[in-house]
Structure 1
Amino acid sequence: MATQYGPVFSMRVGGKVVVVLNKYHIIKQAFMNPHISDRPLDPTLQAGITFSSGETWKQQRRFTLTSLRRFGVGKRSFEQCVVEEAECLTEEMIKLKHTPFDLRSLFTNATSNIICSVVFGKSYGYSDSNFKSLLNHLDQNLQLFGTGGVQLFFPVMKYIQRTSYKHIQGNTSKLIKFINGVVKQHEYSRDPENPKDYIHDYLNEIESNQEVGRAHT
């Protein structure tokens, strides 16, 4: 179609008009334009920063980058966190000795722990059943979204692909429940003057915005 219509053309997929970019320099130029950075609306994925869009996404991204840098991400000091987790990963592999094991799951646990150390302020053991369940739900959603995402263009597919759709919804619900529990713990342990991790920082930001809102009313 690009041969016939050129490197930029549109087509209708289901009930939506889709614009296709078919040249590297055009795609690069498009990615630099903030007006096309929105994400499609999907009720199964309207959770958290990753799937927010528009002005909300810009504000969330700006705050998140600032907060993560505050806790060392992107700085040389953060290397120590990576080194410590690498040591834990090595120890876990040594425990398995000569028995076959799934290397992917161990690396997923290790990389996730590095993220959790900044966001949640803690790491999880490789045998922690709750954390393993969380990673499993994430992995399943990544695999299922390939088919579940069709509903963005054909909403009726959520009724036809009912199993995939419900599975994604169920996993997302469990992920939100897990995160809400972590946030609740942080609400009790929060010291506004001494945030320990990203969630503490985020709760402080919410409180600060609420105070600004009250001041203007």
Structure 2
Amino acid sequence: MLVTVAIVVVLIALIWRYTGRPKGLPPGPTCYPIIGNIGLVKPSEAIQAHRNLRKKYGDIYTIMTFHKPMIAVHGYDNIRELLVKHGDIFSDRPLTIVNGVLNKGKGLLWSSGSMWKEQRTFALTTMRKLGFGKRCLQGQIMEEVDCLMEELEKYGNKPFDIQNILNTSVSNVICSLLFGKRFEYEDAKFKHLIILLNKLLSTSSSSSPAFIFPILRHLTKSRFIKVQNIFADIDEFTSEIIVEHKRNFDGNNVRDFIDGFLLEQKQAEENTTFTDDQLKISVREFFAAGTETTSTTLRWALLFLIHFPDWQKKLRDNIDAVIGQSQPKMEHKEQLPLVEAFILEVQRHANLVPLAIPHAPKEDFNYKGYYLPKGTFMFFVLDSVMSDPEIFPEPTKFQPGRFLDNRGKCNGEQKEKLIPFSTGRRLCLGDSLAKMELFLFLVRFLQKFEIKPENPENLPPLEGNLGLTNMPKSFNIVLIKR
């Protein structure tokens, strides 16, 4: 009997030892044997859960998912210190279902190490040659904006949900850079992909156990198969375009990202990272990121214009006084500080990626007395910056004026500390493009239409649905042509 009790005690001790929170890590909630802190943070309620944990355990704490530690880092100074000052160390990604199973370490967004460095350098260089972040691209963006405006006029003052048509329009901008062409709004296959992409991003979460432990996909097989099928549909779509590019390839006429990649591939040596799979996955990631973040931010902007009609009038008056109905250009941005301030406050309040994409240190690191092991899953909580009352007083209030100085100019510390695209070496590749799109799309909306709610007595909610991004709930608008 005593022997049995002793064995049980030893087994419990071993389970506790190897599934508890390792010594040296930041503090955290009570860690239970085997399960750790499973169930403590529900993916759909992650923002408030992390705010509560911060109040209790401080700016840096550990949550255990089974035996795997997940470290959350809050506060602008901490995030900047680790991602900027020590950016090289924290530039890796942890193992997840995306890079471990679906992408197999390839791509741009989820890759790490030398693969990521080489491919990111190539992607940035190639996209810049195509006008990425340069004002020469604005004409191309405006062509798409005006196509959207013509399409929207067809709704004739009737309420409708703008989500899919807006996603298509924004996606066409990145498609023109990737594929060298845009797609018609009625293209059935392209519309289907846009809908699938939205479904993928609205139902997935980077803090769910299955995301962190790829092996758990076997317990949620139906959901994993759905994700796999969405990836496959997008890859099939882009593969057909890649095959067409290979057939018509001309190294002296690089028209888009795919051409640039094929040129690099032909010049590469053995064991190159410029493989067909790498191209396919990179294009998929550009396509998803280039569509989702900008179109969702624009939907948030339309929602705030509905809720704050006084700001809609201020913006329109500012635009009318400066450029009237003339085509907006990036040179006008400085002359339209109210528009920029409004966009910045939308980005802050929308809190699009509150936990950012997870990082991992590529070597053991000590910070503020805490041990951060190599490969650890780390969340840099951007929400802690967006909602910081020390940086943004009364953060729950929608106040675009906070970004304006006493001369009415849009600058200052608050603008610098707003980091909706994260910061450091893994700053979103498309941040410069997104800033151009947000400005040009929004100005044109205000020039062409008055944005009204479907029911003024029952405005759509300002609370979002948190998946991989924080999306507004579906809502209808009415566009009154000016």
Q: Which has the bigger relative contact order, CA under 8 A and spacing at least 6?
A: 2
Instruction: Tell me if TM exceeds 0.5.
Output: yes
Partner AA of 1:85 in structure 2? E
RMSD over aligned Cα, in angstroms? 2.4
Alignment equivalent of 1:35, drawn from 85, 89, 94: 89
Instruction: Provide closer, same or farther for how the CA distance between residues 148 and 181 of structure 1 changes in structure 2, counting only shifts above 3 A.
Output: farther
Q: Which residue of 1 aligns with 2:66?
A: 14
> How far does residue 149 in structure 1 lie from its aligned partner after superposition?
4.4
Q: Is the 8 A contact 1:40 1:152 kept in 2?
A: no
Partner AA of 1:19 in structure 2? I
> How far does residue 206 in structure 1 lie from its aligned partner after superposition?
1.0
Count of residue pairs brought into register by the alignment: 213
1: CA distance, partners of 2:270 / 2:65: 46
Q: Which residue of 1 aligns with 2:269?
A: 210
Partner AA of 1:176 in structure 2? D
In the alignment, is residue 162 of structure 1 matched against residue 221 of structure 2?
Answer: yes
Give the 3-state SS of the residue equivalent to 1:18 in structure 2: strand
> How far does residue 211 in structure 1 lie from its aligned partner after superposition?
7.7
Cα deviation code 1:24-52 (max 9, x no counterpart):
21111222212222223321354632222
Q: Which residue of 1 aligns with 2:165?
A: 106
Instruction: Provide closer, same or farther for how the CA distance between residues 98 and 184 of structure 1 changes in structure 2, counting only shifts above 3 A.
Output: same
In the alignment, is residue 145 of structure 1 matched against residue 185 of structure 2?
Answer: no
> How far does residue 173 in structure 1 lie from its aligned partner after superposition?
1.2
- Larger gyration radius, structure 1 or structure 2: 2
Question: Which is helix-richer, 1 or 2?
Answer: 1
Instruction: Provide closer, same or farther for how the CA distance between residues 70 and 15 of structure 1 changes in structure 2, counting only shifts above 3 A.
Output: same
> How far does residue 8 in structure 1 lie from its aligned partner after superposition?
3.0
2: CA distance, partners of 1:125 / 1:3: 49
Instruction: Provide closer, same or farther for how the CA distance between residues 66 and 184 of structure 1 changes in structure 2, counting only shifts above 3 A.
Output: same
Give the 3-state SS of the residue equivalent to 1:35 in structure 2: coil
> How far does residue 203 in structure 1 lie from its aligned partner after superposition?
0.6
> How far does residue 110 in structure 1 lie from its aligned partner after superposition?
1.0
Partner AA of 1:140 in structure 2? K
Q: Which residue of 1 aligns with 2:75?
A: 23
1: CA distance, partners of 2:82 / 2:259: 35
Q: Which residue of 2 aligns with 1:176?
A: 235
> How far does residue 144 in structure 1 lie from its aligned partner after superposition?
2.4
1: CA distance, partners of 2:215 / 2:124: 38
Q: Is the 8 A contact 2:164 2:195 kept in 1?
A: no
2: CA distance, partners of 1:151 / 1:93: 40
> How far does residue 188 in structure 1 lie from its aligned partner after superposition?
0.8
> How far does residue 157 in structure 1 lie from its aligned partner after superposition?
3.6
Unaligned runs of 5+ in 1: none
Cα deviation code 1:119-143 (max 9, x no counterpart):
1100000010111111122111112
> How far does residue 194 in structure 1 lie from its aligned partner after superposition?
1.1
Q: Which residue of 2 aligns with 1:44?
A: 102
Instruction: Provide closer, same or farther for how the CA distance between residues 180 and 6 of structure 1 changes in structure 2, counting only shifts above 3 A.
Output: same
Instruction: Provide closer, same or farther for how the CA distance between residues 109 and 23 of structure 1 changes in structure 2, counting only shifts above 3 A.
Output: same
Q: Is the 8 A contact 2:193 2:234 kept in 1?
A: yes
Alignment equivalent of 1:71, drawn from 130, 133, 138: 130
Partner AA of 2:229 in structure 1? G
1: CA distance, partners of 2:271 / 2:228: 35
Instruction: Provide closer, same or farther for how the CA distance between residues 31 and 103 of structure 1 changes in structure 2, counting only shifts above 3 A.
Output: same
Moved more, 7-16 or 112-121: 7-16
> How far does residue 208 in structure 1 lie from its aligned partner after superposition?
1.2
Q: Is the 8 A contact 1:7 1:23 kept in 2?
A: yes
Instruction: Provide closer, same or farther for how the CA distance between residues 11 and 186 of structure 1 changes in structure 2, counting only shifts above 3 A.
Output: same
Moved more, 38-47 or 112-121: 38-47
